[in-house]
Amino acid sequence: MIRTPLRPLARILKARDRGENPQAIERENLRLRHENMRDQARLRAESRLFVLGVFFLGAFLAVGGRMGVLANSDPLEPRSSVIGADILSTRADIVDRRGRILAKNLDTHSLYAQPHTMIDPEGAAQKLAQIFPDLDADALLEDFTGKRKFLWIKKKLSPEQKQAVHDIGEPGLLFGPREMRLYPNGAIAAHVLGGASFGREGVSSAEVIGVAGVEKHFDDYLRDPANGHKPLQLSLDLTVQAAAEEVLHGGMKIMNAKGASSVLMDIHTGEIISVVSLPDFDPNNRPRPLTAADKDKDQSDSPLFNRAIQGVYELGSTFKIFTAAQAVDLRLVNPSTVIETKGPMKVGGRTIGEFQNKNYGPLSVEDIIVKSSNRGTGRLALQIGVKRQKEFLDSLGFFQPTPIEMVEASGGRPLLPARWTDLSAVTISYGHGLSSSPMHLAAGYASLLNGGTRVEPTLLKQDGPQNGPRIVSPQTSQAAVKMLRKVVTDGTASFGEVPGYQVGGKTGTADKPKPRGGYYEDKVIATFATVFPASDPKYVLIVTLDEPEIIGLGKKRRTAGWTAVPVTSQMISRIAPLMGLRPVVEPATLTGVTLTSQ
Amino acid sequence: MRTLLYITTGLAVMGLAFWAYQENYRTQEALKEVRKLQREIAAERNRLEILRAEWAYLNRPDRLRDLAEVNFDLLGLLPMEPTQFGQVDQVSFPPANSLPPVTGAVDTMATTGDAQ
């Protein structure tokens, strides 16, 4: 580039000749040069900005375009990297405490029809009716020849049925993939598992949703794909549950009861090892719940009704141990304090009577439990007082529905007296006037007998004891176990002895309330609440029979001692070995050591 | 000199292209293999689930109980009872001559890992 000189000699000489200032020429030239430089610099800066702008635009377009592609594309399974079985889209399994399957997902097919594509609707309808006896050929034909373009025929098919339908060769019959919930053990633990059904349904898939029991309570957990490979482990033991159901079913039949329930609970961890309610049902084919049309039927007679959790009953004399234990814990009495149980005893205008109007006379607290004296526990309850009794029963969980992990648990809300008078305190001391479920009773017994700390029932497998807040002292807990043991060795539950397992327990026979007030004369709920082994309590077992009645020694017998107790002892002798409890010789009571010299 | 440079560059480009295409085909092959394997894994997993379900179904307590009853002559199985617990010291030693004498003993060294 040739620079223009600032002071071109020719112009300067000319300017000098004209008498002008030559400096003006130099300034003029300098100005032009600066303007030129400025224009060039601007041009360069502008082009740089343009390049930068193009670069940014490209970057933003790339990011935006990628986002758009990601948002609109179908998700793809990553194929080039290693993936495990961590994420499964199936509903998680349910297993028992030893990992045996209680509920499982299975792939199957559903069958649907598109009548407008059918070639031989008549033949298809007839062949389908042959394969599925529950379908009606005429009704099918009507559907196939009508205006409908789509209809479901079967929601679940077995592989054999699928092959048979396939062999018809009708192009209008189509299969859709389905997942179904299988309960391989049939009716075992039916009430706990509940059941499952289909939620939203499409041709290519359908959601499986829990409808009752743990299936519904843990629906979110079970459906979460991240938990697909992590089964839900329950505290139930399949073999124990099966044995308990078998024994209870036999006992219910022998005792002519219309229903029965049992709860077996680990008193330290709160785990429910087995919970049975009879009659039961098959969760693979859950029966229809009672609806408004069946309003003359009793809800509690439906097999869907869970007696152990939803059934609130007055559980009778099984409550006496709570009264006695509280009185001992408050140091009002000790197990050998003698209480007068002679009648008549009137509280709040009502006479408190004994079973079959017996009269036991003065009894020690221990013997009140052993002989099951209403007036004895009533007197103890009056000593304890309404307020403290309420607090104690509340601390044992009798005022709330049980926290067990089933949707039905909230239905088992205990029925409490509206006004807790002295009379209520007395009747509740022997188990009348307060209705609760067998599960409540199991939790109450467990809390009282495990050394005196609160334990809440749970259906999930636990790692260790619960160590809840203290309710009674360890000494009281021990004394209560001793009293219960004596009921079996010397008292009303003599049929309950199982050699080697030192069963302790309390019987309870409560008259059933009529729906419109008052009590039935000849219908009872017989309960036996047990704890074993007494020398080192581990398990609480509650057995309840609904309206039992047998002939024993030539008389009609309804009391728990004749009905629930033999069933319970049979059950313990069956299930204790299954839980690995070795029968042991009961430690003898030590006689006091007398020192000859001191 | 320049010609040589051009020829080498051209050859290099062709070589690299050949290599790149080959790698591409191998990757696609591997991906296809992976896809096949994953389908197989899914099918096997499905089969495993079905077998597990079948195992649970065949081992359901009701069926086992019925089978034990039907085959009582053969098996003589009864529900477990408390009296069936035994102590180790109740098991008698085998008669002295029931075991063959130890012959040809070999010295060995055991580590703790072998005991498991």
Structure tokens at A149: 């373009």
Q: Is residue A110 located within the same domain as residue A248?
A: no
pLDDT at A591: 62
Range of the domain at B61: 1-70
What are A574's two structure tokens?
Answer: 């069956």
What's the residue count for chain B? 116
What CA–CA distances, in Å, run from A129 to A144, A164, B43? 13, 12, 32
**pLDDT-wise least confident of A63-67, A155-159, A240-244:** A155-159
Token pair belonging to A82: 């290693």
Interacting residues of A540 by C-beta distance below 8 A, sequence separation 6+: A263, A264, A265, A267, A442, A445, A446, A449, A529, A530, A531
B52 touching A, CB under 8 A?
Answer: yes
Is residue A512 pLDDT above 80, yes or no?
yes
A576 in contact with B at a CB cutoff of 8 Å?
A: yes
Q: Closest Cα of chain B to A295: distance in Å?
A: 34
Q: Residue A500: its pLDDT value, please?
A: 86
pLDDT computed for residue B114 by the predictor? 43
Nearest to A115 by CA among A155, A152, A145, A154: A145
Which of B60, B61, B85 lies at the smallest CB-CB distance from A582? B85
- Give the CATH number of the domain where residue A458 resides: 3.40.710.10
Asked if A295 reaches chain B (Cβ–Cβ under 8 Å), the answer is: no
Give the mean model confidence (pLDDT) for residues A462-478.
91
Query: For the residues A313-342, what does the mean pLDDT come to?
Result: 90
**A3 reaches B (C-beta below 8 A):** no
Nearest C-alpha in B relative to A571: B81
Q: Kindly report the pTM of this predicted structure.
A: 0.79
A68 in any annotated domain? no
How far apart CA B115 and CA A591 sit, in angstroms, is 48
Prediction ipTM score? 0.74
Q: A395 and A364, same structural domain?
A: yes
Residues A225 and A251 in one domain: no
Chain B hits for A498, CB-CB cut-off 8 Å, are 82
Q: Would you say residue A143 has pLDDT above 60?
A: yes
In this predicted structure, what is the pLDDT of residue A583? 86
pLDDT at A84: 54
Q: A525 is in which domain, residue-wise? A: 239-285+301-578
- In three-state secondary structure terms, A465 is coil
Q: Does B82 touch chain A (CB under 8 A)?
A: yes
pLDDT of the residue at A59:
97
Per-residue pLDDT reduced to its tens digit, B52-85: 888 999 999 999 999 999 999 998 888 888 888 8
The packing angle between helices A320-329 and A422-429, to 10°, is: 110
Among chain A residues, the shortest Cα distance to B27 is held by A80
The SS3 call for residue B12 is helix
Spell out the SS3 assignment of A162-211. HHHHHHHCCCCEEEEEEEEEECCCCCCCHHHHCEEEEEEECCCCEEEEEE
Give the tokens for residue A106: 């299975």
Number of domains in chain A: 2
Do residues A513 and A519 make contact, with C-beta atoms less than 8 angstroms apart? yes
Over residues A330-338, mean pLDDT: 90
Per-residue pLDDT tens over the stretch A59-75:
999 999 999 998 988 87
Tell me which residues of chain A, numbers 228 to 287, contact chain B at a CB-CB cutoff of 8 Å: 238-239, 242-243, 246
**Is pLDDT at B111 greater than 70 in this prediction?**
no
CA atoms within 13 A on the CB side of A370: 17
Higher-pLDDT residue of A395, A156: A395
**Burial environment of residue A505 by CB neighbours within 10 A (0 to 12, 13 to 18, 19 or more):** buried
CA distance A586 to A376: 29
Residue B30 with chain A: CB contacts under 8 Å: 80
Residues A271 and A215 in one domain: no
Q: Which residues in chain B are contacts of A576 at CB distance < 8 A?
A: 82
Same domain, A281 and A190: no
Positive or negative, the CA dihedral A228, A233, A238, A241 is: negative
Is residue A464's pLDDT more than 60?
A: yes
Whole-number Å distance between alpha carbons of A563 and A555: 13
SS3 A505: strand
B50 in reach of chain A (CB within 8 A): yes
Residue A65 lies in a domain: no
